[in-house]
Amino acid sequence: MTETRPLSGLPQGDWPVFPPGLVWLLGAGPGDPGLLTLHGLNALRQADVIVYDALVDTRILDWRRPDATIEYAGKRGGKPSPLQRSISLRLVELARAGHRVLRLKGGDPFVFGRGGEEAQTLVSAGIPIRVTPGITAGIGGLAYAGIPATHRDINQAVTFLTGHDASGDTPAGIDWEALARSSPVIVMYMAIKHLDQITQRLIAAGREPAEPVAIVTNATLPDMRVLETTLGTAAADIAAHGIEPPAIICIGRVTLFRQTLDWIAQLAGEPPRSLDPLGLAASRADTA
Ligand code: SAH
């Protein structure tokens, strides 16, 4: 059983106590610190040591206990990293030394973040863990761009894809024909580098070059940028606009809803570009 207690600064209720020797895997969300969960804040308030990744917004670290120590375990670039093993072993070491160890990861720890691997190492070593999910960039980042990952009129499925496999190449395990046929919306992480190959494969597998694509960089952060393009022109556009990671790439007609739902622009005073960017009102009237 988990011990709980009320915690000042958090809503009334009993919150899990962070016992020494436990590693708490926590998703920090895609950037905007406000997207951290209340369990996350509770964990931060109690941790002795925080081991955090490159994509974690460091403003979140300001909410730690004043005497907590922080360790950076970042790596970028999507290459298989020899560091991964040493990060896991460092977590084991810190836990065995009796610390309350917070492993803070960008987005959700179990979505393309190797949180699963770290958790496996910890459990194998007999270290108790707790896992708190975070808002993943592929959903939360799109929401900040005014793009719903699903919409009843467009897609009944969405696929999350990594832009490279464990060897750093375009993912080998994907059946591109099946993907192109079955998933009206494809949301890609870490896909900038291989976007040229990925878009060519999808087009070869039957997707329209004119299909709309949105590329969201630094999603949820003040310097967020959204590039609206198409499957056929996305790779060239990335080069032309000097787009750099981190970026979420969304392929599919849901991206057009941004013309109506770009709430950040609207809060800044801009009117919506269109109230019916997909022409759905007309088709609804037809079938009514
Ligand atoms: N666990 C994370 C993903 C880690 S992989 C999650 O659930 O979100 C790292 C990739 O996530 C980046 O290359 C990028 O594709 C995406 N990503 C993370 N944060 C992002 C952000 N603020 N804006 C755009 N993409 C982001």
> pLDDT digit string (tens) for 3-24?
888 877 888 888 999 999 999 9
| 3-state secondary structure at position 15 | strand
Provide residues with CB under 6 Å of ligand 1.
30-31, 55, 105-108, 111-113, 136-137, 141, 189-190, 216-221, 245-248
Locus of tokens 């699903």: 150
User: What is the predicted pLDDT for the residue at 75?
Assistant: 61
Whether 193 sits among the annotated catalytic residues: the reply is no
Asked if residues 211 and 230 have their Cβ atoms less than 8 Å apart, the reply is: yes
144 lies in the same domain as 209: yes
pTM over 0.85: yes
Average pLDDT for the chain: 93
User: What is the predicted pLDDT for the residue at 174?
Assistant: 93
Instruction: Work out the average pLDDT over 223-228.
Output: 98
Instruction: Work out the average pLDDT over 224-252.
Output: 97
102 lies in the same domain as 151: no
30 lies in the same domain as 65: yes
> pLDDT digit string (tens) for 72-84?
997 655 555 557 8
User: What is the predicted pLDDT for the residue at 1?
Assistant: 62
Asked if residues 161 and 69 have their Cβ atoms less than 8 Å apart, the reply is: no
DSSP alpha helices (H): ranges in 74-182? 83-96, 115-124, 142-144, 176-182
Last residue of a domain, one of 135, 161, 193: 135
- Residue 196 above 90 pLDDT? yes
181 lies in the same domain as 254: yes
Tell me, in angstroms, the distance from the centre of ligand 1 to residue 3's CA.
33
183 lies in the same domain as 157: yes
Cα dist. 131→42, 44, 110, 118, 124 in Å? 13, 13, 9, 11, 16
User: What is the predicted pLDDT for the residue at 262?
Assistant: 98
Give the range of the structural domain holding residue 189, as residue numbers without chain letter.
138-267
Tell me, in angstroms, the distance from the centre of ligand 1 to residue 1's CA.
34
Element (H or E) spanning 213, and its range? strand 212-217
- Of 152, 135, 145, whose CA–CA distance to 255 is shortest? 145
Asked if residues 75 and 83 have their Cβ atoms less than 8 Å apart, the reply is: yes
**What is the side-by-side order of every strand in the sheet holding 49-52?**
69-72, 49-52, 101-105, 23-27, 129-132
143 lies in the same domain as 263: yes
**What is the side-by-side order of every strand in the sheet holding 212-217?**
158-162, 185-189, 247-251, 212-217, 225-230
Instruction: Work out the average pLDDT over 140-166.
Output: 95
User: What is the predicted pLDDT for the residue at 83?
Assistant: 74
Split at pLDDT 50, 70, 90, the class of 287 is low
Distance from CA of residue 250 to its chain's centroid? Answer: 12
Nearest-atom index, ligand 1, CA of 163: 15
User: What is the predicted pLDDT for the residue at 77?
Assistant: 53
119 lies in the same domain as 182: no
User: What is the predicted pLDDT for the residue at 280?
Assistant: 86
> pLDDT digit string (tens) for 259-277?
999 999 999 999 999 999 9
